């Protein structure tokens, strides 16, 4: 069943060893490490220092397995020794108010507090949201008000355009826009080039640049006045009008 190996200075067991319930296998001069089964649960209990679980075999892995809910075993987490990565086998679940932190100083924080979800950059540097696949888009979606999901903003990687896709309205300075684009406040271009708007007695809105070299100008360098009526037709007073 066992013998004492004088050449290797080892005790060799040739059959299994059995420890009854609540009988511990102890290791270390001060019984620092204990392994036991209490009749219901099993435990590996380390009382001094750190606890290492190691696989020193080249390019081999460590697998953490448990019941798969159907009477079998499943790998929930593995440490890949050849690719040097941690491979989850199942989803991670973070309970409410438990954060996933990234960075040595916990710079990036992702959590759900039971009511809302947060992606928070609290450390150093900027926060980037990137799409690095060629010609692919970055799409922002939210509830469409009818139990579905709608795309509200798309950054188009193939055309380099950005556009609002939702059939609703866009507001700047207002939370209740009544038109496709409503701005509450002044609109001003770079520097001193600005667009001013005013209504006349005939319900026309007059858009004018602030100088002959302003934002709106004709092909001859003159100022273009854009007349936009609040109902009916709109027109330019001559020349060409370009955006971009």
pLDDT digits (tens, 9 = 90+) for 140-159: 999 988 889 999 999 999 99
| In the predicted structure, residue 111 carries a pLDDT above the cut 80 | yes
| In the predicted structure, residue 107 carries a pLDDT above the cut 90 | yes
The average pLDDT across 117-123 equals: 93
**pLDDT score for 185:** 81
**pLDDT score for 238:** 53
List all residues 6 or more positions away from 76 whose beta carbon is below 8 Å from its beta carbon. Answer: 64, 65, 66, 88, 89, 90
Tell me which of 32-36, 52-56, 193-197 is least confident.
193-197
Cα torsion at 143, 145, 147, 152 (round to 10°)?
A: -30
Q: Where are the beta strands (DSSP E) in the chain?
A: 2-5, 10-13, 25-27, 33-37, 42-46, 62-67, 73-80, 85-88, 100-102, 108-112, 117-121, 138-143, 149-155, 162-164, 170-172, 181-183, 195-199, 204-209, 226-229, 235-236
| In the predicted structure, residue 69 carries a pLDDT above the cut 50 | yes
Q: Which of 71-75, 205-209, 232-236 has the highest mean pLDDT?
A: 71-75
List all residues 6 or more positions away from 227 whose beta carbon is below 8 Å from its beta carbon. Answer: 204, 205, 206, 207, 234, 235, 236, 237
User: Is the model more confident about 184 or about 32?
Assistant: 32
**pLDDT score for 167:** 72
User: Is the model more confident about 181 or about 125?
Assistant: 125
The average pLDDT across 21-32 equals: 96
Tell me which of 12-16, 30-34, 167-171, 228-232 is least confident.
228-232
| In the predicted structure, residue 237 carries a pLDDT above the cut 60 | no
**pLDDT score for 183:** 84
DSSP label of 188: B
**pLDDT score for 169:** 86
- Tokens representing 149 are 């999901």
Query: What's the whole-model pTM score?
Result: 0.69
**pLDDT score for 189:** 54
**pLDDT score for 239:** 54
| In the predicted structure, residue 240 carries a pLDDT above the cut 60 | no
Q: How far apart are CA 99 and CA 87, in angstroms?
A: 20
**pLDDT score for 18:** 96
Q: Are 35 and 44 in contact (CB under 8 A)?
A: yes
């Amino acid at each position: 069943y066992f013998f004492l190996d004088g050449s290797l200075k080892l005790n060799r067991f040739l059959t299994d060893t059995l420890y009854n319930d609540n009988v511990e296998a102890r290791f270390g001069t001060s019984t620092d490490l204990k392994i036991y089964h209490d009749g219901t649960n099993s435990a590996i209990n380390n009382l001094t220092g750190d606890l290492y679980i190691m696989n020193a075999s080249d390019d081999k892995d460590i697998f953490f397995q448990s019941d798969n809910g159907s009477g079998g075993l499943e790998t929930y987490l593995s440490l890949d020794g050849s690719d040097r990565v941690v491979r989850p086998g199942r989803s991670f679940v973070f309970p409410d108010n438990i954060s996933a932190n990234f960075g040595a100083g916990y710079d990036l924080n992702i959590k759900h507090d039971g009511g809302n979800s947060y992606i928070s950059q609290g450390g150093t540097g900027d926060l980037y949201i990137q799409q690095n696949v060629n010609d692919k888009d970055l799409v922002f979606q939210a509830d469409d008000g009818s139990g579905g999901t709608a795309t509200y903003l798309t950054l188009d990687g193939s055309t380099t355009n950005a556009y609002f896709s939702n059939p609703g309205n866009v507001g700047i300075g207002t939370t209740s826009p009544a038109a496709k684009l409503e701005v509450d406040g002044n609109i001003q271009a770079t520097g001193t080039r600005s667009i001013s708007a005013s209504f006349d007695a005939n319900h026309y809105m007059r858009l004018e640049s602030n100088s002959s070299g302003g934002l709106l100008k004709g092909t001859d360098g003159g100022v273009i006045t854009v007349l936009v009526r609040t109902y009916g037709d709109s027109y330019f007073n001559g020349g060409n009008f370009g955006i971009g």
